[in-house]
Structure 1
Amino acid sequence: MRVLVTGAGGFVGTALVERLLREGIAEAGDVSELLLVDRQAGEPPGDARITALAGDFSSSEILEPLLSKPVDVVFHLASMPGSQAEAEPAEGDKVNLWGMLTLFERLAKQATEYGRAARVVYASSVAALGEPLPTSVDEHTAPLPTISYGVHKLVGELILADWTRRRKLDGRSLRLPGIVARPELSAGHGSAFMSQIFRMAQRGQAYTCPVSPSSSVWWMSRRCCVDNLLHAARMPAEGLHSGRVWTPPVLHLSVQEIVDALVRRFGSFSIDFAPVERIEQLFGRQPPLTDGRAIEAGFRHDGAIDELVANALELA
């Protein structure tokens, strides 16, 4: 099985690559070739199955050699973060919209050339829902994105669903929240505070949080995120709903609840709160989320809050 991962050197991508090498898609060892693309030339795991290229995932220099033979599964993770895309709109359009469409279009040619539709797992975002959000979110909540990043993600979802209907691709889109805990503050991620709380508590360092302690947030660890991405790739196509979009379950917790759990694990640490209205508006007023179709399809959250802490920090 040939598997392509864009954004393979990123926070989620590196963990996904490790799992693919270890577990495969349907079973361990079924990934015969793992094709990795990222803008930054990193050090891929030493494995003969890997072909790693550095550059623009949508450029012909990257796509033509990688797709000279058909691929079975694609994980499209590469994107420019929302805050950065707002600050650099032309580059955001290039990466998140035109680049994504170029990749999907090139993959769709495979169905004509080889009679095989590539299975595409697309890392969409809860930004597609927009803000302000309603008092609760479920599978019937209409997406109304209010930033370009969310618009781009929604376009990707719609194209995948339509091209799946036309049997050009076999798409599965996951609307992901901010994933924790990134190792360092990530430029362009408005949700970076979510990870910083974990890291500062683990190190026993002081932290000033840009949202209030009562802020309600959707939480998912990288470990759980990768579980859900792999589950999306493993689901048989038969019986999937026509929209091909799921918002996986999350833990809906206040920042104070997270702080309390971190204190239980690591002891007290110094944290102050200096709310920034825009960040709190985007990431600190999230309502209960229950996507019945996602739950029925087998997607999951981290379990309990202490499991989230362990998963987020990759603790045993």
Structure 2
Amino acid sequence: MNPKILIIGACGQIGSELTQKLRAIHGADNVIASDINYGNLDVVNSGLFEILDAQDYSSMKICVEKYNIDTIYLMAAMLSATGEKYPMKAWDLNMDSLFNVLNLAKNKIINKIFWPSSIAVFGPTTPKENTPQYTVMEPTTVYGITKQVGERWCEYYHNKYNVDVRSIRYPGIISWKTLPGGGTTDYAVDIYHKALADNHYDCFLSEHTELPMMFMDDAIEATIKIMQAPPDAIKIRSSYNLAAISFTPEHVVKSIKSHLKDFTVSYEPDFRQEIADSWPKSIDDNHARKDWNWSHHYDLEAITNEMLTNLKSLANQNS
């Protein structure tokens, strides 16, 4: 029997692709998408859609009861770079939305939650190489603070109220289907767009800034895989480290130049450089690989090929 799923923040970068994948698996009628506006017409038009404010518990409860929802994927959040511009808005959105969903589960109105955390939970005092699952976490951004606090509340609600909440710490996510959403790792998406459009990119991080990254298809697969795992396989109820590959802007440029030899880049680090410098260079995700058989498929060359091929195809369709 298919679960009845509500995706909150379904028009965002990850939410939009997750919605389409879950609709393909469970059927469009079983996956209700929602967001604060009609931000992605592909999502809006491909199945049931509701306008929903993630900070409004009453509206969320009405929507859940209307569709008999048993599983929520909470994808609404204000990301790192945007959050630094609007710190209190970021705190309120990221925390209110999580408490609303956790309380729906605590009150037995829903059965299961997916809530994404991030490598932003780590900070400058965290070990940079192969950052372990259990380590020092002193985040320096509002986004990272909300995710770190959120992890603690997820574990608390599981231990105290037996809430089935599952989470992974996303690295930077790369996708050709949706535009970046205000994160520090956005350069790794934007650079492909600019390479094809302008043959040049002004990078807001320095060329040697190494960060953990992942192709969207791998991120979606991990999200679905952890939710499909039996409850006793999920040993960590705060959030799992998740990794695929790590690279620098310089690595991406070299990869793109193997396809577009005249591509050029200039490096003009801005406030996002300080954020990136506080994050890990690589992640140890052995717990996820062991507990629920996580594995990634895309390396940098495969990502570059996918990005350039599909963005070219989109440009040709729109011309």
Q: TM over 0.5: same fold?
A: yes
- Identity within the alignment, %: 18
Shift in CA distance, 187/290, structure 1 to aligned 2, threshold 3 Å: closer
Measure, in 2, the Cα distance between the counterparts of 1:98 and 1:130: 23
Q: Give the match for residue 119 of structure 1.
A: 112
Measure, in 1, the Cα distance between the counterparts of 2:236 and 2:13: 30
Measure, in 1, the Cα distance between the counterparts of 2:309 and 2:17: 11
Contact 1:5 1:37 in 2 (8 A): yes
Match of 1:199 among 190, 193, 196: 193
Q: Unmatched 5+ residue regions in structure 2?
A: 314-319
1:229-285 CA distance string (max 9 Å, x none): 111111111132144421111211122111111122333312112233x42332256
Give how far 1:188 is off: 3.6
Match of 2:281 among 280, 287, 302: 287
> Would you say 1:51 and 2:44 are equivalent positions?
no
**What's the TM-score once normalised by structure 1's chain length?**
0.86
Tell me the number of residue pairs that the alignment of Structure 1 and Structure 2 aligns. 303
Give how far 1:63 is off: 1.0
Q: Give the match for residue 88 of structure 2.
A: 90
Shift in CA distance, 97/261, structure 1 to aligned 2, threshold 3 Å: same
Q: Give the match for residue 8 of structure 2.
A: 6
Give how far 1:18 is off: 0.9
SS in 1 for 2:54: coil
> Would you say 1:36 and 2:33 are equivalent positions?
yes
Amino acid at match of 1:230: I
Shift in CA distance, 60/314, structure 1 to aligned 2, threshold 3 Å: farther
Q: Give the match for residue 108 of structure 1.
A: 106
SS in 2 for 1:299: coil
Contact 2:9 2:76 in 1 (8 A): yes
Measure, in 2, the Cα distance between the counterparts of 1:223 and 1:314: 15
Give how far 1:185 is off: 6.6
Give how far 1:96 is off: 0.7
Q: Give the match for residue 97 of structure 2.
A: 99
Q: Unmatched 5+ residue regions in structure 1?
A: none
Shift in CA distance, 313/75, structure 1 to aligned 2, threshold 3 Å: farther
Q: Give the match for residue 59 of structure 2.
A: 62
Contact 1:217 1:253 in 2 (8 A): yes
Measure, in 2, the Cα distance between the counterparts of 1:32 and 1:187: 27
Contact 1:35 1:66 in 2 (8 A): no
SS in 1 for 2:212: strand
Measure, in 2, the Cα distance between the counterparts of 1:174 and 1:313: 28
SS in 1 for 2:232: coil
**What's the TM-score once normalised by structure 2's chain length?**
0.85
- Once the two structures are overlaid, the 10-residue window that deviates more, 243-252 or 159-168, is 159-168
1:23-52 CA distance string (max 9 Å, x none): 23xxxx4x75212221122433545xx431
RMSD (CA atoms): 2.5
Give how far 1:174 is off: 0.9
Amino acid at match of 1:109: N
Contact 1:201 1:263 in 2 (8 A): no
Measure, in 2, the Cα distance between the counterparts of 1:311 and 1:160: 35
Amino acid at match of 1:208: D
Q: Give the match for residue 163 of structure 1.
A: 157
Q: Give the match for residue 308 of structure 1.
A: 303
Shift in CA distance, 32/166, structure 1 to aligned 2, threshold 3 Å: farther
Measure, in 1, the Cα distance between the counterparts of 2:250 and 2:152: 37
- Once the two structures are overlaid, the 10-residue window that deviates more, 138-147 or 219-228, is 138-147
Amino acid at match of 1:65: I
Give how far 1:6 is off: 0.9
Match of 1:271 among 240, 265, 268: 265
Please state which structure has a larger fraction of its residues in helix.
2
